[in-house]
Amino acid sequence: MNDEYEHPDDKLLYVTENILQYCDNSEEFMRLRDVYNSLYQQCQCKDICSPSTCECIQRSRGANYEAYQKDGETKYKLISRPEPESYPIVECNDSCDCAVGLSVCGNRIVHIGPIEGLDIRSCDKGYGLFATSPITAGTFVCEYAGEILTATEASKSHDVNKREGKPNYIMCLKEHYGSNTIVTIIDPSTIGNIGRYINHSCDPNCHIVPVRSGSCIPKLCIFACKDISPDEEITFQYGSDDETENESDRVKCLCGAQNCRGFLPYHNY
Ligand SMILES: C[S@@+](CC[C@H](N)C(=O)[O-])C[C@H]1O[C@@H](n2cnc3c(N)ncnc32)[C@H](O)[C@@H]1O
């Protein structure tokens, strides 16, 4: 993966993808690990992956569903999806038999790494992530990577950040598999990537898509949902509309959107 980004926090351990927290031998940790292991998979396609044969594409949303479409000679982008965003995309990976490389298998985007031309800048919300060149709707921007925590560890980390007056970086990723929902808690407070600098907006230009790519651990991937201009701030909506704020943890939203709900969404771990 190509991710060469500089970042302003010298205490941050920069990682290019999610890592599972240390094994604390708790039942909660073992359950988390087992769920992820049961979801690992690879396809046996010998040539170009197609929705009718590729197990990875089929796992994404059933046969005949393709998450990505070709955009120019070498690029692929996300097809806008009418269904809930929380249905995961399963990409082909190094264990698959299909040929590697975008020119052959289009079911691989995220493992390449973030797009070029992202810039961390100071703004009214602390730091924020900005585009330096145009980004078209559907483009994969970057992963929101960090440490995958159990709910207990997330709660502890949240309390530490609050006590030390630091921003809350923890995000919850929800994936729907049929009637099952898997919630993954990602914490880039001390171990993370460029994604941790993306601020919330009530009218965002990016959205979150869960992606499985070469690892049993899911990735929280940020895709543009609108065309983005140079110098525009990259934003996504934290949490879902139905998540309400806890009175004592309310953070005033500074997104400036016309439909701003006033406060950042809040998730109880
Ligand atoms: C994932 S971090 C984003 C990067 C952060 N601004 C920084 O300086 O590192 C999330 C935190 O940024 C701040 N933030 C994000 N979006 C915001 C918004 N729309 N209004 C106010 N603060 C925001 C909040 O402190 C939030 O807990």
Per-residue pLDDT at 81: 64
Q: What is the dihedral of CA 167, 121, 13, 155, to 10 degrees?
A: 20
Domains of the chain, first to last? 31-249 (2.170.270.10)
Q: Is the pLDDT of residue 268 over 70?
A: no
Atom of ligand 1 at shortest distance to CA of 9? 9
- Give CA separation, 163 vs 153, 167, 209, in Å: 15, 10, 31
Beta pairing, strands 206-212 & 219-224: antiparallel
Residue of 200, 243, 245, 246 to mutate, ligand 1, most atoms within 8 A of C-beta: 200
Per-residue pLDDT at 47: 77
Ligand 1 centroid, distance to 189 Cα (angstroms): 12
Residue of 198, 245, 253, 264 to mutate, ligand 1, most atoms within 8 A of C-beta: 264
Q: Give the mean pLDDT of the chain.
A: 86
Closest CA to 176 of 240, 237, 236: 240
Read off the pLDDT band of 242 (50, 70, 90): low
Instruction: Quote the CA–CA distance of 35 and 184 in Å, as a whole number.
Output: 11
Per-residue pLDDT at 106: 81
Residue of 236, 246, 251, 254 to mutate, ligand 1, most atoms within 8 A of C-beta: 251
Segment 238-252 shows an average pLDDT of 67
- Give CA separation, 93 vs 33, 39, 115, in Å: 20, 13, 19
Q: Is the pLDDT of residue 133 over 90?
A: yes
In the chain, pLDDT over 70 holds for what percent of residues?
87
Instruction: Quote the CA–CA distance of 79 and 131 in Å, as a whole number.
Output: 21
Residue 126's region, left for phi above 0, alpha for psi from -120 to 50, else beta, is: left
Atom of ligand 1 at shortest distance to CA of 144? 1
* pLDDT tens digit sequence for 61-85: 766 667 788 877 667 788 876 555 6
Q: Is the pLDDT of residue 100 over 70?
A: no
Query: Residue 151 belongs to what H/E stretch?
Result: helix 151-163
Ligand 1 — pocket residues by CB below 6 A?
125-128, 167-169, 196-197, 199-201, 251, 253-255, 264
Atom of ligand 1 at shortest distance to CA of 127? 8
* pLDDT tens digit sequence for 197-236: 999 999 999 999 889 887 778 899 999 999 999 999 999 9
Ligand 1 centroid, distance to 237 Cα (angstroms): 11
Per-residue pLDDT at 129: 98
Ligand 1 centroid, distance to 171 Cα (angstroms): 12
Nearest CA to ligand 1 atom 4: 197
Atom of ligand 1 at shortest distance to CA of 196? 1
Ligand 1 centroid, distance to 176 Cα (angstroms): 27
Per-residue pLDDT at 50: 82
Per-residue pLDDT at 55: 85
Q: Which residues contact 5 (CB under 8 A, 6 or more apart)?
A: 14, 114, 118, 120, 193, 194
